[in-house]
Chains A and B, each alone.
Chain A
């Protein structure tokens, strides 16, 4: 079974621009979560989508947004990029509902560099 795929793998943008990252979950997985990884902060939860609806949201500004399509693929958008947005953005997919202890399957991430 194919894993979670993320495109592109690397991106370089300048301050003020916007960026869109894409994530394709494992076949059959309907929940997609996004995380930001920065040195010293670990992985921080951005948001989670299920059936095209955002079910959970982390503590990030409104410049960070996302959406999910009917085929469960998800996109994440960051507008008005800031230097501090440079990070590894990870997408994870999972089954629709799990009462704890389940694992999320992560993609390899998109490395975003803002200059």
Chain B
């Protein structure tokens, strides 16, 4: 079963506007959530993360919001830039004996920024 879901396979946003990418999860044991960005022919690169004890984390143009009661998180990009066009993956992990090594990923959302 898909424990981490990204229900929008694609999203188009005008340059300068806000991009909002959504992610839902089912496993209440997840204690860390991460967003990765992937360009074609490259591996995913880490963007931002949030612990389950927080509801917001901000890093420059990127903000992640976590709603634990709804099991929902979102990534906001403001303002959106053409270089933000990529596939975005939401990921989650449960702390095990050795830390949070095993990531469970969503299926990704392709974000296209329109100039």
**Chain A residues close to B by CB (< 8 Å):** 4, 31, 33, 35, 40-45, 48, 50, 55-56, 58, 90, 92, 94, 97-109
| B100 adjacent to A100 (CB under 8 Å) | yes
| B101 adjacent to A33 (CB under 8 Å) | yes
**Chain B residues close to A by CB (< 8 Å):** 4, 6, 31-32, 34, 36, 41-46, 49-51, 89, 91, 93, 95-108
| A45 adjacent to B100 (CB under 8 Å) | no
In whole angstroms, how far apart are the Cα atoms of A44 and B102 in the complex?
Answer: 10
Whole-angstrom distance from the CB of A73 to the nearest CB of chain B?
A: 17
| A101 adjacent to B51 (CB under 8 Å) | yes
In whole angstroms, how far apart are the Cα atoms of A58 and B113 in the complex?
Answer: 35
Contacts of A41 in B (CB 8 A): 107
In whole angstroms, how far apart are the Cα atoms of A109 and B41 in the complex?
Answer: 8
Contacts of A103 in B (CB 8 A): 34, 46, 49
